[in-house]
Amino acid sequence: MMGWISLKLREGLRALTEARVGQISALDGLRAMAITLVIAGKSQNDFFFAAGPQTPHWFFSTVGFGWIGVDLFFVLSGFLIGRILFQEIRATGRLEVGTFLLKRGLRIWPLYFFICGLGLVQIISNHRWNGFAAIIPDLTFTTNFFGEKLAFGSWSLSIEEQFYLLTSVALFFALKRVKNLRGIFPLLGFLLLLAPIFRVLTWQYYLGHGVDPFYLEWEIVHSYFFTHYEGLVVGVAFAATTVLLPSTAKLRSRLSFLLVAGIALAAIGVAFERLAFLYSLISLVFGLAVWHCLQRPEGRFARFFSWPGFGVISRLSYGMYLWYRFPLWRIADFVTRHFSAWPSEVRFGLIFGIDFTLAVAAATVTFLIVERPFLRLRSRIFAVVPVERIQDGRLDYT
């Protein structure tokens, strides 16, 4: 029995470092950076609420922007999902929405509902159970609209699940009406232009109804799907470009120019109306980083993010995102009280380091006992056929 357990443990740990079908190493590095930013930002936040002094100000102000890691996740998710969908359409001429959603579900749902189960146990044990209706948003991936009770960070997972559903259904119906999906590019551009308008209208509506501005910004504008989706659209645009259009130097140059121009315009917009254009700016900046990795995999930037260690963190990032919030407040409170003589930035580093390490450990355990069995089940149910290859240093989809 012990020998079998040891074998399965070794196989599972080996799976963390093995190359996967369609893997792009540099994007794994960016995903590792995304989870690092998120944990750093929340560590700063909990350090602040544990009464930790935020000095030097420049350092903590910078770290406080770690929440932008979620937008990097959105760009990467948009590209991944868009690539899966467009590759299937290009290879078969059709799209099986149910199959796509089930395949994604076998990747996302097992660990998510496992965490929800633990959260439910915690709520009941603390005598905070308010009835089944209170956890319906967690169970239906709508916590971005109604609030989360069971799983920290489920608001962003809800946005992604809603994106998976809407995008796949929209493409399914589009295939029945058009023969050439290249018309998707004007639509994606239009959606990017609409997002700041949606944010302004949402802000004005709720402000007019007396909603507190801080709550409005971080619990509504930050969380609603229609006010925080640009990163996903940018990622889909990259997927559509690489799969549907022939890869030429002119195309790569043109898209790079559009990204830089968009960043400049969004930066000007932020100077005049921060809330309206901030997410657009962040999404385009991360989009430029992703696009650079896709088109220049041999460049220094992409080679740096291709370090194998980043690949392991990337593989664990989903689990880390669901786990890291559970112990964070207790860590921040403990460090703030027991190491009060230490410099603030050192205490922050200790909080971040402990929480990051615990998140890696917890994610590794649940990868082995929860995620990997369902990933293997998915592989047995659905044949995974590689449809991309690297040619002349660049992605070539066939």
In this predicted model, what pLDDT tens digit does every residue of 322-373 receive, in sequence order? Answer: 999 999 999 999 999 999 999 999 999 999 999 999 999 999 999 999 999 9
Express as a percent the part of the chain with pLDDT over 90: 78
pLDDT number for residue 393: 36
- How many CB atoms sit inside 10 A of residue 97's CB? 17
Q: 74 near 161, Cβ under 8 Å?
A: no
Tokens 């615990």, located at residue: 358
Distance CA 143, CA 149 (A): 8
Q: What pLDDT is recorded for position 398? A: 31
Per-residue pLDDT for 168 more than 80?
yes
pLDDT at 225: 97
How sure is the predictor about 196, in pLDDT bands with cuts at 50, 70 and 90?
Answer: very high
Q: Which two tokens stand for residue 81?
A: 């999902």
Closest CA to 324 of 284, 288, 294, 355: 355
- Are 275 and 221 spatial neighbours (Cβ–Cβ below 8 Å)? yes
Given a cut of 50, whether residue 387 has pLDDT beyond it is no
Q: Against a cut of 0.85, is the pTM above it?
A: yes
Q: Tell me which H or E stretch contains 396.
A: strand 394-397
245-252, long-range: CB within 8 Å, 24+ apart, which pairs?
Answer: 245/182, 247/394, 247/395, 247/396, 252/295
Distances (CA, A) of 158 to 105, 175, 180: 12, 26, 30
Nearest-10 Cα torsion for 376, 98, 389, 297: -90
Say what the pLDDT of residue 133 is: 85
Q: What is the pLDDT of residue 251?
A: 86
The residue type of 19 is A
pLDDT for the residue numbered 246: 81
Q: Which H or E run contains 389? A: strand 388-391
Predicted local distance difference test score (pLDDT) of residue 127: 78
The whole-number average pLDDT for the span 232-243 is 96
Average pLDDT, the chain: 91
Q: Tokens 């020998």 identify what position?
A: 3
- Looking at the predicted structure, is the pLDDT value of residue 10 above 60? yes
User: Model confidence over 300-336: pLDDT tens digits?
Assistant: 999 999 999 999 999 999 999 999 999 999 999 999 9
DSSP 220-258: IITT-GGGS-HHHHHHHHHHHHHHHS---HHHHHHHHHH
Cis before 373? omega within 30: no
- What is the SS3 assignment for 211? coil
For residue 396, pLDDT beyond 50: no
Residue 310 has a pLDDT of 96
pLDDT in tens, 62-95: 999 999 999 999 999 999 999 999 999 988 889 9
146: CB partners within 8 A, 6+ apart: 136, 137
How far is it, in rounded angstroms, from Cα 388 to Cα 367? 27
Q: What is the pLDDT of residue 120?
A: 93
Q: What is the pLDDT of residues 248-282, one digit of tens each?
A: 888 888 999 999 999 999 999 999 999 999 999 99
Q: Give 129's pLDDT tier (boundaries 50, 70, 90).
A: confident
Mean pLDDT of 210-217: 97
Rounded CA gap, 109 and 112, in Å?
5
Q: Higher model confidence: residue 3 or residue 233?
A: 233
Q: State the pLDDT confidence band at 159, using cuts at 50, 70 and 90.
A: very high
Instruction: Average the pLDDT over 232-248 and give the result.
Output: 92
pLDDT at 117: 95
User: How much is the pLDDT for 4?
Assistant: 58
The single-letter DSSP state of residue 225 is G
User: What are the Cα distances from residue 363, in Å, to 5, 112, 119?
Assistant: 18, 12, 16
Q: Which pLDDT band holds residue 8 (cuts at 50, 70, 90)?
A: low
Q: Running DSSP on this structure, what letter comes out for residue 66?
A: G
**What single-letter amino acid sits at 373?**
P
pLDDT score of 220: 97
User: Is residue 305 within 8 Å of 26, Cβ to Cβ?
Assistant: yes
Q: Is the pLDDT of residue 20 over 90?
A: no
Using CA atoms of 43, 48, 49, 50 in order, give the dihedral in degrees to the nearest 10: 80
Please tell me which residue, 75 or 178, carries the higher pLDDT value.
75
Asked whether the beta carbons of 20 and 302 are under 8 A apart, the reply is no
Exposed (0-12), middle (13-18) or buried (19+): which is 342, by Cβ within 10 Å? middle
Beta-carbon contacts of 48 under 8 Å, excluding residues fewer than 6 positions away, are 54, 60
What number is the average pLDDT over the span 10-21? 76
